Structures are given as C-alpha cells and as structure tokens.
Structure 1
Amino acid sequence: MKLDLLLSAGTILTLDTDRPTAERVGVLGGRIVGFDEEIDGLEAARTVDFGSGTITPGLIDAHCHAIWWGLNLAQADYSHIRKLEDFFEVLSEQVSRIPAQPDPGRWLLGHSFNQYSSGSEYPRLEEIDRITGNVPLYIRHASGHAAIVNSAALRMIGALEPGFSDPTGGVVCRDESGRPTGLLEEAAQALAQAHILPFPLSELVDALDEATNRFAAQGITSFGEAGIGAGWISHSPVEFAAYQQAVSEGRLHARAQLMPVLDALQPLSAHQSDFFGAEESIGLSLGIGSGFGNASLRLGHVKVFLDGALVSKTAAVSDVMCSHGSGHGYLLGEPAEYRRRTLAAYRAGWPLALHAIGDIAIDLALDLIAEAQEKYGLLSVPNRIEHFGLSRPEQVERAGALGISVVPQMGFIRDLGDQLIASVDPERESWLYRGRSVIDAGAGLIGSSDLPVIGNNIRMAMDAAVQRTTSSGRVLNSAERIDRSEALRMHTVWAAHAMGLSDDRGTLERGKLADFTVFSGNPLTSSTMQELEILATFVGGKETYAK
C-alpha cells in the first residue's frame, strides 16, 4: 500500500485519550490510516516534515456567518471608525464612486459600524441625507442586529408614512418627536433588505470562495453557518444552492454545516403513522432533515433568534442588570409562538440552536429545550444555546442538567469586552460570556467566532478564553478562566460533538477525516497561542493553506 500523504512534526496532538500524541500520521483517500509504527515501511506519494511544529485536529468554528462576511469584503468597511467625522468621510468617498447615471435600484451598502467605537453616538440622519441624497443607504451594525439607513431608504419601506407600525420583532427607532433616526433594529432590517435581496448565486459563491480561503489561513477546517434561508440573517432563500455550487466548483475551502433559520421551515404532512403526521411538524420540503448531506456539506441544527445583542442594546435582559437606560432589549416574538414552532421543528428531528444573549432570552431558551426533550426525548445531537451572553448562576446549572451545548464567543472578551462590561450593571459583569462555570456544570462549552461580528482568529479566541483580558487590559472575571487544553478542545473535540460530527472529526484517529491544523509550536505549552503561526491547513489530506 502506498500512502497519499505522510506528515511528521515535533508533536501531533491527537486529542484521542487512547493515543494522545504521535510524531507521524499517514493519509489515504482523505482519511487517517495510522500513526508512527502503524505506518512503518509504507511509502507515500507526498511527504511533509513540519519540524518542531505541532499538528492538531482541524479547528472548528461552530458558529459564524461565512456568506455575510464574504459579501462584506466587497462593501464599504466602517469597522475602523473612531469618530463620526471618519464615518462621514468614508460615506462621502463611497458616494463619490456612484456613476453619474446610477443603476435603478442601486443601494449604498456598508458594514461593521459600532457606535461604541465613535463615542457611543450614531450619525445624525440629517447629515447622512445631505451626503447621500436620494440614493438609499444600508449600513449593517457590527453586531448584525441593527442597521443605519437614510431617508431615501425610510421612504421606500414606508416608515415616513402616517400610521406606519413596527414589524413584529423589530423597531424603526425614533426621536422624542417621533421622527425616525435612521436606525433599524432586528426584524425591521428586513423591511430594507426586501429591496436589496436576494443576492445572485454567483455573488454568493464568490463570497464563499473569498471567505473560506481566509478561514483556511486561520487553520479552520470545518464551520457552522449560523442561519440560512430566511430572516435578516439570510441573503437568499436558496443559499443552500450557493453552497452546493461552491462545493462542485472546488471553491469551498472548509467543510460546512448549515443551520436553516426557523422561518425557512414549513409545515409538513405525511401518513399519520409517521412522526410528521400525528402532530404539527415543520421542516424543509420533501422531509429533508438535520444530518442530510456529506462530509463537505450537511444540514445541522435549526437556528432560532430569541433576542438581539448587548452591543446593539437589543438583548432581552432583566432591568436590574442593565445600565444603558431604556435599552433593555426585547424578545423578537411571543413565547407561545416560539413554543409552538420550536416544538414542531424538534418533533420533526431538528435539534435546536437558540440564539439567546440576555438572561430573559436564556430563560425562554432553557424552557423550550426542557419541554422539547421531556416531550419527545433526546436527539442524537445535543441542543444548543448560541451566545449565552449574560447568564445567571442558576441558568448555568440548568444548562448542565439539560445536557445543553453552550456556544459563546470567547474572542468577544478581548475585542468587545469593555463594551459588554459597559452595557450591564457592574454587579453582573461576572455573568458575561462564561467559561469555567459552564464546564463545571456539565454543559458543553463550544468554540465559535460569530464572524463577522469580530474576526475568526481562533488563536486569539483561545487566548481570551484562558486569560479573559479585554483590549484595555481589564480582566473579565478570572474565575471563568479555562486551561489551554480546554480552549483547544472547544474548537475540536467539543465542537465536533455539539455539531454531531464526532464520528469523523474533532480528534485524530484511524478512519477519521484527514483534517489537520499545523501550528508553528505547541498550543498547550507556548506562552500564548497568538504567538504561534498557522503553518498549514489540510482538509481531507489536501492543503487548503500553506504559509
């Protein structure tokens, strides 16, 4: 037998308890065939020696938004704004590129504005209108849970008409006199997006190509696309087709698991003896369900938005926890309707991934999962709470008792930590984006970036989980620190389990996929993980990145 690939390094961290380390690994047909003495005497078509480097299982980003980020790369970037004068300068430059005869339906698109970076102020609508005129504007907030628009856009969505009412789950923000400010929150964004979307498949495939090329440079081999097919998070009702096309054209450079948004699921009917038939069930057409697909592309959990975000002041938090005045946030729907639809999805076999950042939303998420599991039993894949941003101690214990996987973003601690601290009561800051207490309670602690809210540098995120230091140097509750091995497992073993992928990834074992991340040193012994470089990334034994 001749191997396709033989890799060697100073250390191979398999994260397999039966064989935790090795020095050589052999690959055939995209899968691991053995280590060290198991492959003695075998030749290989290609041999690579990474010297003192360290090979680990491929890194997993369990919750991100690849299409959204890929599309951002072609839009105006407002992430670097530090004062409103800079905002207007970028906007003016963007307007200057509009052709003298603009295409009908053309919008000015931008992304990643964060009011905390510009003195906690949003730009005034009057000044935006002066610069943009009659060309509609849509700039998505860094959190994704709000957007800045101009009066041209407000007219298009009818928000300037008498009798206009906010949509369910969203707000067109207004000043004291009742005039719109140009800020759309949550589901209100969809009113503007209805005039922008859908993007053509060709642009979505281009976005995936650009985004996942960059994923590979961060050592990422698998990721979860946290919301497709409907709602403000979606860019086309046929996003799954964009992923299929990207795979067929060789332009998807990491393995993807896709989460349909709850609103993309429709009523199912079948024979009364089927689980679809006896009670209300919702799912995708033809009864296609979670787990459908292959190693490159498959369906995962159903994504359910319960509330907004702390930095956009739309997370549903208790009044006693909140320090930002009237902005206590809100649930994005009625609890009774959430209950009906989530139970209908769970009954049809869809594990739940419930977006819940504020403690009120976390209460609802825990209630929904508890009822689903009690009524219909456990599925083969654990239910999840995405973000778990501000959690009371008893909520952590309940998550553990229910066997829930908690999916926070440890990178938020560094990049957004000071903003998060400013958004809650000082007595509650220790409840933000927990780590140690989640593990100790028995819940799964899963690694994710929420890209493009922040970047997907997993090494930085692992450091943040270990150190819990904000960008200003402040430590956010040292009691929630985890160790380096746990930080690595968040993005490998534990992430694979939470996504139902443990059979073929998360650890390096014979028969599993040959997905590797190669570090310049050992992430378990280096002074920081951020100091390490990604030397190479392999998916199925093929390099997707080489330094």
Structure 2
Amino acid sequence: MMTHLYADTVFHNGFIASMDSKQNTYEAMAIKDGKILSLHTDLLIKEYIGPDTNVIDLEGKTVLPGFIDAHQHMFNTGFNLLNVNCDCSSAAELIYAIKERANEIGPDDWIIGWGYNESNFTHDEPINKHSLAGISNPVFISRYCLHTAVVNERALQLANISKDSQVEGGIIEKDESGELTGVLKERAMDLVKNALPSYDEESLKKMLLRANEEYIRYGITSVHETGLGFFSGSMNEFKVLQQLQEDKKLNVRIYAMILTDFFDYLNGMKLQGNFGNEYLKIGSVKLFCDGTLGGQTAALSSPYLNSDSNQGLYMYSDDELERRIIDAHEAGYQIAVHAMGDAAIEKILLLFEKALKKHPRKDHRHRIEHAAVTREDLIQKMSDLSVIPIPQYGLIYEMGDIYMKVLDEPAYNYVFASKIFYDKGLQPAGSSDSPVIHFSPLHGIYSAMSRKTKSDTTYLPEQRLSLLEAIETYTVFAARAAFDEKIKGTLEIGKLADMVVLPANFLQFSADQVRDTKVDMTIIGGDVVFQHERSYHNG
C-alpha cells in the first residue's frame, strides 16, 4: 500500500550497517525531519519517494552510524588549527616555524604553538628556553599531550616565574644548577596561560567553527567535549556553544562536560542530569586525577623505568579529590575523571565506590577518561561498579614506543587493554583526545585493530579488536557513554539520521585498508554536511 508520508531524503543502492543488536543490514533508508523514517530494500523504499524527495544513489557504498568521539577538546583543537603547528621532525624545524610566525606579527604579540613531540625528532635535541633564545616575542608551545609546555625567557618574565616559584600539582623544571629550563608541566603551565591575552567570544567561536569544519570531513557527527572551561578558564565556552548551536552554525552534536572548577556555576544553573537537547547537552562533571605517561606524570603503583622514585603526581590532595567526587555524585551528575596510571585509577574507583555506598544510584555511568594503565583487579572493579573506560586507541600508534621505554612490568601488559575492556562488557567508548592526537576515527579504528606503533612494533597484540568491535566503540558504546543510546549510535527507525558513508565492502577491510580509507560523505540529521570531491548521482 502506498503511503502519503513522503521522505525528505531517500538513500538507496547501498550497504547500510545498522550496528543494532542483531547487526541488521539494509539497502535503503528514508529520512523525515532529521530522523530515520524507514530502513528497507531498494524496492520497498520507493513508497517513501514523493515529488519533493531528494533521492541519492549510494552506488554500493557502506553506510555506518556517524562516528562519535567520546573524548576530545573542541576549543583546543580549533585553537591549534589556527596557530603554529609544531609537529616537526627536528628542533631546528620547530624553531624555524616559530621564527616564521614572529616575522608575521608585532614584537609584543604572543607566539603560540602546539603539538611538539620530541620523540619524533630525528636527533636527540632538547626543546627549552635556550632553544628559543633568539626569539624576542613571548613564546608558549604546548606538547602534543597538553600536559607539558615550553616557554622562552620573555614568557617567564611576563608570567612572573622565577626559580623560587612553586605550584601545587605542577612542575617548574630546573636544570642541575637550579636555573629555569622553560619547561612547565601540569598546573605550572597555568602560570603562563594566565598571562596570555584573554580570548573574546568571537575568538572562541572561530575555534569551534574551525574544528567543526575538520571533524565532519572525517565522519564525526557527535563529540563529547571533555571539560568546558579547560581552554579559556571561563564559562564563556558554554555561552558561545549555545550561541553557535542556536544559530545553527555547528554541524556536530555536543555532549558537554563542565570542568569541576566550575561546579558551583553548574549548580547555580540548577540543571538536572543530561540537560539540553539533541544538539547540545550537559550531563557530566570532569576532573583530573593525574598526568600523562609520556610526560611521566601519570600516577603509577611502581616507578617509571628510568627512575628509582618517580611514580607520577596527583592534581589534588586525597581530601579535595574525595570532596569533588562526592559532591558531584550527590548532585546527580555523571562524573568523568582523567586517570592514566593504575594508582590513579585505583584511587578513583575506591572513591566511586564510596560515593555509591553513601548515595546509591542506578545507572550512574561514571567514566574513567583514558584508563591507560590498568590491572586485572582494576578491570574487575570497573565491571563491578559499572564504570565506563574511555580509551584512545590512536595513542598506541603515536606513543606506544615511548610507553615501552618508560613502563616496567606488570604495567606494560595492561596499556589500553582494549580487548579485555570489550570482553568484560565494560563497553569502552572510542575517542581521540584531540588535539593530543589526530581526531580521525578511522585512524583510531586502525590502531585498535593493528596495535601498531610508529616503529611498526605490534604492542600487546592480544588486545587487538576486530573491525566490527572497533566500530562499535565509536558508535554504540560512545552513544551509551553520554546516555544517548535511544537517539544515536545505531541506525534504527526513529533515531537521528547521523551517518558516515565509506567505500563499498568496508566491513571486510584489513587494518591497513581502514587506515588509508577516506570518508565519502558525512550526514547529520539527514543533511549532507560533507561530501568528497566526487559527486553522487541524484535519482
């Protein structure tokens, strides 16, 4: 029987992998008002085609639910895309890039760079204030991990940092003679960040729009913004997000977390959990427990390989950490804690357990962001407490070689334990931590499948995921980590029409083929927001 409910858009002649619980596949899809109206065969979908329906021939391509990046920093990503890229192969190349920017700006303007990784340098060259001695502008360069920065002498002076300066939860590095090196770690970076020019709302908007432009090119339809206030130190970030979403200038959907430093602001808004709509939602409080593995500030239960005593550091005292977690849990929010090392993860799990005993709550979905170094007992504890790990598979490729150099047994055996997380039913959500590493979900999926490092070493091969498992982490599990499984993560009738179009037979691709794959089309709410240069046939 013919229907009079015509679709706005129909996609046909494709391989639509729903990623639902039965792994159903379809040839065609009808979309109405931004949601999936029907999934069917090419023949039966024709009843939804009216005189004004836009009909798109997929030409045999693969359609998946839109990718969801469950941990990234959109402001930082856009900011970095607008500033000096320091992902260089040598210190000399990096310094040249900084000098080039100095020639383009005034003598008192700040030069801001991002993404340096000394492990990529072809020679063993340090980056410190001495490297930047020939540059008169104040310079602030953040390491790719965002937990370490290098500044020059001018920046140290403007930030009033001396060799006597101290900061809790951070490191102001000094050489053997006690002189400042210009290397700042963790909260020590804030001393210089506070001296940087403040970012007005228009600047913040430019950052978001730039990140949005790139995300959709890689099939990202939703992101979890892990810590509003993290970039600018203000809730202007929330304000501009609202404005851009209301003005319909952002394509990607955003699940936003509020940095714990702004918890009073959040409570003052008198929001309930999962406040917002399908475009912008707030439901989580984010805080940091420890640092990073590459910077050797992640909190471990045993010392790093090159140290007799360094086991990382914590961002808060035990009492302060407990207070922040208990307060957020009692208020009804999901809690997302940055914890890289096994000692930090153990500490957080014990506090989650304490919070749940004090204030029992079903389906809390508290999260451990990164969950990099775990142990069997911690993985079991995560399962017992229904805590969700949020790993970054791409870090295996980017940093695996360094992890092998700095981690001792038994920590080495449980770095981003993807397969164990999956098999234990923890439903780990895939993510990038962009701009720490590139935001491409396909690169993350490749890394989860191959476990290859930059040196082509296979790092813990027993932790490999299959292609379908890796996709599930970037779709089904990532949606669930934001309480969004009823509206996204799978392609089912009534859900949002958020999709990514990939080459034919994509689900049979090897890891290497996935790595080299380009997104053909990104669709959000039924609208094609990105399309590769080749055109699709309408009709």
TM-score class, shorter: over 0.9
1:521 aligned onto 2:527:
no
Q: How far has the Cα of 1:489 moved from its partner? A: 0.4
Distance 1:85 1:537, change over 3 A: same
Are the equivalent residues in 2 in contact too, given 1:403–1:444 (CA < 8 A)? no
1:344 aligned onto 2:347:
no
1:173 aligned onto 2:179:
no
Match of 1:410 in 2: 393
Are the equivalent residues in 2 in contact too, given 1:171–1:187 (CA < 8 A)? yes
Distance 1:227 1:526, change over 3 A: same
Structure 1 stretches of 4+ moved >6 Å: none
Give CA-to-partner distance per residue, 1:348-400, whole Å, 9 cap, x none. 11111110001111111111211122222235441110101111221112111
Q: Which amino acid aligns with 1:89?
A: Y
Identify which of 491, 513, 522 aligns with 1:537.
522
Distance 1:324 1:84, change over 3 A: farther
Alignment RMSD = 1.9
Match of 1:109 in 2: 112
Q: Which moved more, 1:20-29 or 1:166-175?
A: 166-175
- The SS at the match of 2:130 is helix
Are the equivalent residues in 2 in contact too, given 1:290–1:299 (CA < 8 A)? yes
1:25 aligned onto 2:29:
yes
Q: How far has the Cα of 1:249 moved from its partner? A: 3.1
Distance 1:69 1:293, change over 3 A: same
Match of 1:504 in 2: 487
Match of 2:94 in 1: 87
Q: How far has the Cα of 1:442 moved from its partner? A: 2.7
Are the equivalent residues in 2 in contact too, given 1:198–1:237 (CA < 8 A)? no
Give CA-to-partner distance per residue, 1:515-539, whole Å, 9 cap, x none. 1111112332122322433111111
1:96 aligned onto 2:99:
no
Are the equivalent residues in 1 in contact too, given 2:128–2:152 (CA < 8 A)? no
Number of residue equivalences: 521
Q: Which amino acid aligns with 1:540?
A: G
- Alpha-carbon distance in 1 for matches of 2:307, 2:235: 36
TM-score (norm 2): 0.92
Match of 1:252 in 2: 250
- Alpha-carbon distance in 2 for matches of 1:120, 1:170: 25
Are the equivalent residues in 1 in contact too, given 2:419–2:464 (CA < 8 A)? yes
Match of 1:137 in 2: 139
Give CA-to-partner distance per residue, 1:60-94, whole Å, 9 cap, x none. 000011110101112111112x2222222222222
Match of 1:198 in 2: 198
Equivalent residues in 2 for 1:19-418 (5 A)? 20-36=24-40, 39-44=45-50, 45-80=53-88, 82-99=89-106, 102=107, 106-118=109-121, 119=123, 121-129=125-133, 131-133=134-136, 135-160=137-162, 163-164=164-165, 166-230=166-230, 233-234=231-232, 236-266=234-264, 283-323=266-306, 327-418=310-401
Match of 1:272 in 2: none
Give CA-to-partner distance per residue, 1:32-60, whole Å, 9 cap, x none. 11111674412142011111211111110
Give CA-to-partner distance per residue, 1:153-204, whole Å, 9 cap, x none. 212222226x43x222112111122211101111111111112153111111
Q: How far has the Cα of 1:415 moved from its partner? A: 2.0
- The SS at the match of 2:508 is coil
- The SS at the match of 2:63 is strand
Identity %: 29
Distance 1:222 1:185, change over 3 A: same
Structure 2: where are the runs of 5+ without partners? 533-539
Are the equivalent residues in 2 in contact too, given 1:228–1:261 (CA < 8 A)? yes
- Alpha-carbon distance in 1 for matches of 2:198, 2:131: 29
Q: How far has the Cα of 1:325 moved from its partner? A: 6.2
Distance 1:240 1:128, change over 3 A: same
Structure 1: where are the runs of 5+ without partners? 268-282
Are the equivalent residues in 2 in contact too, given 1:60–1:496 (CA < 8 A)? yes
Are the equivalent residues in 2 in contact too, given 1:310–1:357 (CA < 8 A)? yes
Are the equivalent residues in 2 in contact too, given 1:321–1:428 (CA < 8 A)? no
- Alpha-carbon distance in 2 for matches of 1:303, 1:433: 20
Are the equivalent residues in 2 in contact too, given 1:9–1:55 (CA < 8 A)? no
Q: Which amino acid aligns with 2:16?
A: I
Q: How far has the Cα of 1:290 moved from its partner? A: 3.3
- The SS at the match of 2:251 is coil
Distance 1:295 1:479, change over 3 A: same
- Alpha-carbon distance in 2 for matches of 1:68, 1:59: 20
Distance 1:523 1:373, change over 3 A: farther
Q: Which moved more, 1:312-321 or 1:346-355?
A: 312-321
Are the equivalent residues in 1 in contact too, given 2:303–2:309 (CA < 8 A)? no
- The SS at the match of 1:312 is coil
Distance 1:338 1:24, change over 3 A: same
Q: Which amino acid aligns with 2:256?
A: L
Q: Which amino acid aligns with 1:22?
A: Y
Are the equivalent residues in 2 in contact too, given 1:353–1:386 (CA < 8 A)? yes
Q: Which amino acid aligns with 2:521?
A: A
Q: How far has the Cα of 1:284 moved from its partner? A: 3.2
Match of 1:277 in 2: none
TM-score (norm 1): 0.91
- The SS at the match of 1:439 is helix
Are the equivalent residues in 2 in contact too, given 1:351–1:379 (CA < 8 A)? no
Distance 1:51 1:92, change over 3 A: same
Distance 1:210 1:167, change over 3 A: same
Match of 1:7 in 2: 11
- Alpha-carbon distance in 2 for matches of 1:211, 1:379: 35
Q: How far has the Cα of 1:208 moved from its partner? A: 1.1
Distance 1:338 1:423, change over 3 A: same
Q: Which moved more, 1:283-292 or 1:300-309?
A: 283-292
- Alpha-carbon distance in 1 for matches of 2:428, 2:197: 35
- Alpha-carbon distance in 2 for matches of 1:544, 1:304: 33
